[in-house]
Amino acid sequence: MNYQRLNDQHLRELIRQADAMPPPPATTARELACRVRVLCRRRRGRHLAVAIAAIVAIGGLLWHGSANRRRGEPPGPVAGQVGTPPVEVAHADEHLRLLLEQIDREEQAVGRLLAAERLRRLSHARQQAGVVLDRQAFLDEQAGRAAMCVLLTGDRRAKQAESLPAARQDYASVIELFPNTPWAEQAKQRLAALNPK
């Protein structure tokens, strides 16, 4: 139970540090994932090194005890060497099992953190794309209003004979300033109607 509480505290501390120091904006999701994998591998390597050292020590003690039995010596500690009672061996096995469970929990927590970060970045990208689309729609609307004003001015001038050159100039301005728009198409039609064939 102590290991579970320590693990939870460790995860809370990691999350608190991640909140306090977010990655710089230039960090991509791939770079972040690589860093997390490297940290997990290092931590797993340390835990496995401790577990392997414990297994090697236990194996050495067991091998030494079997060698003594083959020679006919009673099992027991060698001078200057402390024997490992079975209770400590069982404790080392239990500790190894707990370490492996902790590694699995940490890997799952890191996976959840990476998934949450990915969702956050996707939602941020969607929001930015929405702002860009809204801005483009606003600009298109403003351009349409300006084209319509120039077109209506040309229509008003086209009704007066002395203002026909100015009306032609207005229609030409709409075609030049707002190409590939419905307003430019209307200006072309009206300009063609003004020009004698």
Phi-psi region of 76 (alpha: psi -120 to 50; beta: other; left: phi over 0): left
CB 39 within 8 A of CB 113: no
Q: What is the pLDDT of residue 1?
A: 45
- Which whole number is the average pLDDT over 36-44? 78
Task: Return d(Cα 47, Cα 79) in angstroms, integer.
Answer: 31
Checking if the pLDDT of 177 tops 70, the result is yes
62-101 residue pLDDT tens = 776 666 666 665 555 555 555 556 667 777 778 888 888 8
Q: What is the pLDDT of residue 172?
A: 92
How would you class 174 by CB atoms within 10 Å of its CB: exposed for 0-12, middle for 13-18, buried for 19 or more?
Answer: buried
CB 136 within 8 A of CB 163: no
140-172 residue pLDDT tens = 888 888 888 898 999 888 888 888 899 899 999
